[in-house]
Amino acid sequence: MKVIETEIPAVKIVLMEKHGDHRGFFSETYRRDALAEAGIAADFVQDNHSFSAAVGTIRGLHYQLPPRAQGKLVRVTRGAVLDVAVDIRRGSPTFGRHVAVVVSAAQWNQLWVPPGFAHGFCTLEPDTELLYKVTDTYAPAQERALRWDDPALGIAWPVEAGRAQLSARDAKNPLLADQPDLFELGGTE
């Protein structure tokens, strides 16, 4: 397992090894001690599985507030996504900036999205399946979201606005400037 920092160091790419032969492959997709050595010391409490049939499906940008903030370790087992993490920690030198990484079954990579970041993705292939571990369980009272196409975020989504497949709820998310519920840098995440 190899962990690589992104342009926002708190967000990390995790590369997993695959050992294959004529029968198929074997891979360690999660190993607590190796991740902790690389700076991802997270206690995961829930696994989530997302399936999206259509290319251009966007889910996000979601997050949960403290004390139920979630870190996410995201991987794709079939297909590919453009995975996005937006820094929403007020006082951070990278506040409002984002990291966008292609996470795919072919690349066999993962993305660590720590608490304090809004998370979303857009499917790049049909029938994409995404699995992710989270550091806290779903808490509807603490759930918040940002508008996926907020111009202030400058995310280059691989789909035109009129062609994006969105939930009714995600289509109504507020802009970053209109979202009062964010994180404070150094606060309880």
| CATH number of the domain where residue 48 is located | 2.60.120.10
Active site residue 49: no
In a domain, 16, yes or no: yes
115: its two tokens: 């608490």
What is the predicted pLDDT for the residue at 189?
Answer: 54
In a domain, 66, yes or no: yes
163: its two tokens: 């062609």
Per-residue pLDDT for the chain (189 aa), expressed as one digit of tens each? 999 999 999 999 999 999 999 999 999 999 999 999 999 999 999 999 999 999 999 999 999 999 999 999 999 999 999 999 999 999 999 999 999 999 999 999 999 999 999 999 999 999 999 999 999 999 999 999 999 999 999 999 999 888 999 999 999 999 999 999 999 987 655
Domain that holds residue 152: 2-174
In a domain, 186, yes or no: no
What is the predicted pLDDT for the residue at 135?
Answer: 98
Contact criterion met (CB below 8 Å) for 71 and 135: yes
Active site residue 62: yes
In a domain, 157, yes or no: yes
What is the predicted pLDDT for the residue at 81?
Answer: 98
User: Choosing from 19, 30, 62, 138, which is the catalytic residue?
Assistant: 62
Q: How far apart are CA 179 and CA 182, in angstroms?
A: 7
Contact criterion met (CB below 8 Å) for 49 and 156: no
Q: How far apart are CA 163 and CA 11, in angstroms?
A: 29
Tally of domains in the chain: 1
In a domain, 169, yes or no: yes
User: Choosing from 63, 98, 119, 132, which is the catalytic residue?
Assistant: 132
| Whole-Å CA distances, 19 to 24, 26, 118, 129 | 8, 5, 33, 21
